[in-house]
A and B are shown apart, each in its own frame.
Chain A
Amino acid sequence: MRKGILALAVILLAGAAAFFITRRCLVPSTPSSWLCREYGLSPSEEERLRDLERSYGSRCGPYCDAMCDANARLETIALGAGSITPEIRAAVLETDRIRTETRITMLDHFYAVAAQLPPDKRRNYLLKVLPLVIDSCGRR
């Protein structure tokens, strides 16, 4: 019985070690390396993806700042008012405008990335990323 318990402990330890080692080796170091591994891209395609990511980062970054500024402005105005004023309305519209611009930039980037993937995998990629831009509440 004691030998069996020892064997069970060793077996469980081996399984746990296999889990942690595999996970450690396969967790991607960068987000794009996951994309390359998942969709089987070559190093040259990976380089093109990195360029796309850099360009996307430089286009999207300003929107983040603009969104924070617009939200801060809206918060200040909303705290000082007791009802909906034309100023609040304009501030809400401004946050929505920035959000819309961001979503269009995101969609543009997703199409650019999808174009780098093998044709049969593009739809799968879009199915993963589109929910970030479009929330259809599962009604598609």
Chain B
Amino acid sequence: MNPDQQLSPLLREWKEVPEAAPGFRREVWSRIEGRRRVSRAEGWFSLLAMPRFAAAASVIAVFAGMVAGNLQARSTGEALYLRSVDPLSLHAHGR
């Protein structure tokens, strides 16, 4: 008799089903979700570890940085100009 053949009659005899602890189902699902989140993050990082994706992401980051820097420089320049032509605000701020 192999172990599977021994197990089947035992399982048939087994009547007592233990009560699940309170919150058992919630606990199981939260652990499943936690694992899923971790594997998703790992997926992103493993994608970035591929040179082609890393290069593409770098190009996008540099481009976004340049656009943001340009916008920031323009708004700083505008504020500088407006302050320079406004004697009333110079006066209001105690010169």
Contacts and interface: CB of A to CB of B under 8 A. Distances in A.
B65 A26 contact: no
Interface in A1-27: 1, 3-5, 7-8, 10-12, 14-23, 25-27
A22 B65 contact: yes
A64 B95 contact: yes
Contact of B85 (A5, A56, A63): A56
A14 B62 CA distance: 6
A101 B9 CA distance: 106
B78 A21 contact: no
Interface residues of A, number: 47
Contacts, number: 127
A64 B87 contact: yes
Given A1-B42, A3-B49, A11-B57, A31 B72 contact: no
Interface of B: 42, 44-49, 54, 57-58, 61-66, 68-70, 72-74, 76-78, 80-91, 95
Interface of A: 1, 3-5, 7-8, 10-12, 14-23, 25-28, 31-35, 37-38, 53, 56, 60-61, 63-64, 67-68, 99, 102-103, 106, 109-110, 128-129, 132
